Amino acid sequence: MQETGKRKRAIARAFAKKGSGKILVNKKPLDIVMPEMARLLIKEPLIIGGDAASNLDIQVSVSGGGIFGQATAARQAIAKVLVGQDKKLKEKFLNYDRSLLIADSRRTEPHKPSRSSSGPRRHKQRSKR
């Protein structure tokens, strides 16, 4: 089974097969993923799902974006895989956090011309007197 998760520029692909419950993120065991906050984010669907993941080996490959964008994308991909295995988890995940199954469509606003380095809406500071 294969599922994807997205967050901003980060894209995660999760592959699941029958196994002993090993989870690999970018070919590393989940227990050594750093920072710890990102690891806990990725573990959320596994904790909520209970023993739904105990008989699956999940391999997640994540690219693009930053550390927490990647963690959230991986979390979403894992949650989708677990729902594919056990349909009862869908309601549980949606009640806990909707972003576990549904991608966040927000993106950063593109920079406008003539002030590209300062941001999309920043203007030059003006003095009142």
Close Cβ partners of 24 (under 8 Å, ≥ 6 residues apart)? 30, 57, 58, 59, 60
Asked if residue 123 belongs to a domain, the reply is no
pLDDT of residue 25: 95
pLDDT of residue 29: 95
Beta bridge partners of 60: 14, 25
Q: Considering the chain, what percentage of its residues have pLDDT values greater than 70? A: 100
Asked if residue 110 belongs to a domain, the reply is no
Report which listed range, 48-57, 72-81, 113-122, is most confident. 72-81
**Do 86 and 49 contact (CB within 8 A), yes or no?**
yes
With CA atoms as reference, report the closest residue to 49 among 73, 15, 80, 17: 80
Close Cβ partners of 83 (under 8 Å, ≥ 6 residues apart)? 89, 90, 93, 101
- Checking if the pLDDT of 118 tops 90, the result is no
Q: pTM to 2 decimals? A: 0.87
Number of domains in the chain: 1
Supply the CATH number for residue 20's domain: 3.30.230.10
Cβ count near 65 (within 10 Å): 18
